[in-house]
Structure 1
Amino acid sequence: MRIVLFAVLLTALGQDVDREIQRVAMEGWIAARAVAAKGGALELLGPVNRRLKSLDALPGPAARYADVAIRAAVSAAQEERDELAVFLAHARDLSATMSLTGAPAQWPVPIDELEGELWLEVDRYTEARDAYLRATKLKPTANAWIGLARASDRLGDLVGACAAYTQASSTAGLPASVEIEISLYALKCRM
């Protein structure tokens, strides 16, 4: 009986840690993305650094993945493409390791969506398209389809962008701004 209670307690603790990682990862991601909008200025990194410190205190590969993902986002915000590539490679390795032992990394976003978003931010459209294409094959989310459409558009691939926007439009619960983006692009597709 004690063993069963201990197992239940360990499971509950594990779930609490997972929820905490998810919470801190999303807060850190949001803070890092806010820094990106302002050019990655060092004086704005306080909230990001607090989340990174919180992640350091949490155990497991999910916390390490979230840490590296947030650092990659900061590198992108600061236009540090070489540093970004190193962080993304490390994040991919962590995600692959996590896949071998259970579920792949999801927080703040899965690896292919992470790569796509950050490469798109630093104007590496081919890398962004390739990452989003992988994402749509593995787990076709609205974010992956929209990212693929945007990267394809930046590369001048009207057919690819139209196809991706069409796929995205069939996704339920899109934000109004994305629905408007899809509608406007649909006009290009009809021309």
Structure 2
Amino acid sequence: MEKIIIFDTTLRDGEQAPGASLNQKEKLDIAFALERLGVDVIEAGFPISSPGDFAAVSLVAKEIKKSAVCALARAIPKDIDSAFQATKKARQARIHVFLATSKIHMRYKLKKAEDEILRLAVKAVKYARNLCGDIEFSPEDASRTEREFLFRVVEAVITAGARTVNIPDTVGYSEPFEYGNVIKSLKEN
């Protein structure tokens, strides 16, 4: 029987809600509650985003004993280095690298072509893998990414060393049925 892995983003994504702001003690209290609930992986934050977030991720990484502690990083070395430094005291550390893969994000946000995005994704995963044994990769805006390109990216990052691939519907574009089809097609390819 396959095990379902619970990956919780409350400490990072939850804080993006309007009016939500947590101090280090509150983040640690939530992390302890998540650990008591049996959450497998706690995404503690985005360390490069601020000194406060770096400190909070470091504190959670130091104190949590059962759950893996994950830090988010863009697909650039300084972000990955920050995520590694923030989680290096974790019993189980994970670095979660993300890079936009949809045409709209590649064209207007990153101003890069598919081949360059693919190269950057692989390079980032390999770089992170040299620092940490547990790497997660997210193709940002996956639900709007051209299916064939998504297949190529997922295959390439797994080959490069990603142990987990997260398929986010970053902008809430997909209906549940459509999203299910994305996951089904990835499993089949």
Question: For the superposition of Structure 1 and Structure 2, which TM-score range results when normalised by the shorter chain?
Answer: 0.3 to 0.5
TM-score, normalising length: structure 1 = 0.33
Query: Which has the larger Rg?
Result: 1
TM-score, normalising length: structure 2 = 0.33
